[in-house]
Structure 1
Amino acid sequence: MSSHEPDQVAERYARRQVGDRYSMMRPEVWQTVHERQRAMLRLFARHGVRELPALRLLEVGCGHGGNLLELLRLGFAPDHLTGIELLPERAAQARRCLPAALALHAGDALQAPIAEASQDIVFAATVFSSLLDDGFQQRLADAMWRWVKPGGAVLWYDFTVDNPRNPDVRGVPLSRLEALFPHGRVDRLRVTLAPPVARAVAPLHPALYTLFNTLPALRTHVLAWIAKP
């Protein structure tokens, strides 16, 4: 098991040239984000998650803070939200755009001062697909599980298939998700039109994203609620 995976993740991200690929100005991006939001609210409703201001949520790999901003708009209280981000420049940008009451920790999540059983929800979005070391994946999953209160959950969003054009990431199939959280009860939704397809069809007409996304074989991501008994 490599102890240098966080440094290697930083190196891999430094190599990426993404340009405006994830800009909300792109039709396929806002379609993807809105679809995931609707699916997340569906999972919340299914599991009786309603009093959002009272819940404590921590996001591992919060990036520039976009997901945390979404959660604030949904009704989570800033002083009940926490973000952890490995990359200093992303953590700094998140700090600039998020409320001061929202706690942010920069650096390796395994070193973050998070108390055991302190969170109602621990959220990770496209984090584990960037971790190529199986042992580090498991250590992070174990830490996330410790942070969740009994009766809480890990909220998971990630892709399940490999990207042949990007050797710096790998898909996390459902079998691997279940192995990472062997004591959890997994309720999952298949979401997100395959990005290459979305980039091709959404600029032609936004409705084409929805049309193509009706085909389950073209959905590349899983959104999961992993309940802790």
Structure 2
Amino acid sequence: MSELDAIAQRYARREADDRYSLLRPEVWQMWQERQRELLKLLAKRPGMPAEWRATEVGCGAGGNLLDLLRLGLLPAHLTGVELLPKRLAAARAALPEGVRLLAGDASTADVAPASQDLVLQSTVFSSILDDELQQRVADAIWRWLKPGGAVVWYDFTVNNPRNPDVRGVPLKRVRELFPQGRLTARRVTLAPPLARALPGAYPLLNLLPLLRTHRLVLIEKP
């Protein structure tokens, strides 16, 4: 089985429950926290959102692309790349027709070099267990960016011993994947098992940086 086939199977297993539903209190608190921190980073970017071009690797059902539309990016300036046909179909149903959606392996996606102001990835690299494929996807992302563009990275940093389908991506590995990038990193997201167990305590527990398991990183291309 190829690594791409294995990734598809891992994601299929995750769709068996509702643990990622925004109606769950821990999920909307994670989402709101991440959105606040992301907006702080994007507010410092040059230009207006209507001028930006952005691609998301692993766009899923299109939720993050919808957020970019609300921010002011234009449909014709957005591209989503998705490996799983079912998720790609959901994205097509949710997004305006002008948004470009590409199926398959992101490392070979048809995105023009030096054409993007932003490239997003959210918990994609932690699902790629093959180092070589990780690097190929990172190289493609870097190739797509304009000088002065940036990768918006959100992923977890520690291994989950109860979930062999994923592995943490520490900041050291992010630097290895994007050796020329200038990184601005923030720890976010209360450890999900703790958040699910004590959603009412999320704001209090999340005050402790050591309990945050993810990093939101802006990786700028010189």
Smaller-chain TM-score bracket: over 0.9
Segments of 4+ moved more than 4 angstroms: none
Deviations 1:109-137, CA, capped at 9 Å, x for gaps? 12211110010011100000000000110
Instruction: Report the CA distance between 1:17 and its aligned residue.
Output: 5.1
- Superposition pairs of residues 1-229 of structure 1, within 5 angstroms: 4-16=2-14, 18-45=16-43, 47-49=44-46, 51-202=48-199, 205=200, 208-229=201-222
Whether the 8 Å CA contact 2:115–2:144 is kept in 1: the answer is: yes
Instruction: Report the CA distance between 1:195 and its aligned residue.
Output: 0.4
Deviations 1:28-60, CA, capped at 9 Å, x for gaps? 111111100000011113x33451111000000
Unaligned runs of 5+ in 2: none
CA distance in 2, matches of 1:65, 1:119: 18
Whether the 8 Å CA contact 1:155–1:225 is kept in 2: the answer is: yes
Instruction: Report the CA distance between 1:66 and its aligned residue.
Output: 0.9
Identity over the aligned pairs, expressed in percent? Answer: 62
Letter of the 1:127 counterpart = V
TM-score scaled by length of structure 1:
0.94
Deviations 1:54-100, CA, capped at 9 Å, x for gaps? 10000000011111111111211111111000000000000001000
Quote the RMSD (CA, aligned, Å): 1.3
Whether the 8 Å CA contact 1:44–1:50 is kept in 2: the answer is: no
Matched residue count: 222
Deviations 1:159-179, CA, capped at 9 Å, x for gaps? 001111110100000000010
Letter of the 1:140 counterpart = V
Deviations 1:153-204, CA, capped at 9 Å, x for gaps? 11100000111111010000000001000000000111001101111111xx
Unaligned runs of 5+ in 1: none
Alignment CA distance shift 1:57-1:201 (3 Å): same
Whether the 8 Å CA contact 1:122–1:154 is kept in 2: the answer is: yes
TM-score scaled by length of structure 2:
0.97
Whether the 8 Å CA contact 1:191–1:222 is kept in 2: the answer is: yes
Please state whether the residue corresponding to 2:20 is helix, strand or coil.
Answer: coil
Whether the 8 Å CA contact 2:85–2:103 is kept in 1: the answer is: yes
